[in-house]
Chains A and B, each alone.
Chain A
């Protein structure tokens, strides 16, 4: 069975602080993909990153970075020097063969000015 766990329901940080959003996944498939999405108040999910199971390299994109560790089945997301515009709900997702995405319950991030 596939499962994605985002244990942090809500996080509040003060602007310019760093924040890490946790994501733990479960799957027995050896080929899978992991994703992070951002959901601003408008509701549409915005794609942030996609990572396949064979690529454990960490990735950095501006203030965003992702740490993928197969040993702990985690795919954590860090925002450096957070800004008010980062306030949103963030979802981690897993895709395996069979063409279905499995989403975590999301982490609501509030950045306080």
Chain B
């Protein structure tokens, strides 16, 4: 089935460690996004990518890094510079080609906890 797969579902990180969250899609979408959701809050954009080998910072990019080497994959690294990384992370994709729009399709999320 077509969709977006995020892994792992739960992730625990020690302070000072970098961790990478995986996001893979088989929808042939050009655009991919990473959002952070804190309890009782909305979705805040971390990074987005409209095409392979290109990505832009969102509203809260500090302490995060991404890569887009393949169309299907958009991994997010939470670095030790992110002071408060405990949150729910959602990956999404959409057609995003030349201004075309469809809805964004979301993965099931990764819940990251710093221990």
Contacts and interface: CB of A to CB of B under 8 A. Distances in A.
Contacts of A47: 103-105
B43 A103 contact: yes
Interface residues of B, number: 27
Contacts of B101: 33, 50, 52, 95
B64 interface: no
B14 to A, nearest CB: 24
A78 B104 CA distance: 22
Q: What band does the interface of chain A fall in when counting residues whose beta carbon is under 8 Å from B? A: 20 to 34
A42 B108 contact: yes
Chain A interface, >50% SS class: strand
B108 A91 contact: no
Contacts of B33: 100-101
A95 to B, nearest CB: 6
A43 B107 CA distance: 9
Contact of B41 (A46, A52, A97, A105): A105
Contacts of B105: 47
B42 A99 contact: no
A93 B48 CA distance: 16
Interface string A76-91: 0000000000000001
A33 B94 CA distance: 13
B42 A103 contact: yes
A104 B40 CA distance: 12
What 5 A-B pairs come out closest when comparing CB atoms?
Answer: A105-B42, A45-B106, A43-B109, A103-B43, A47-B103
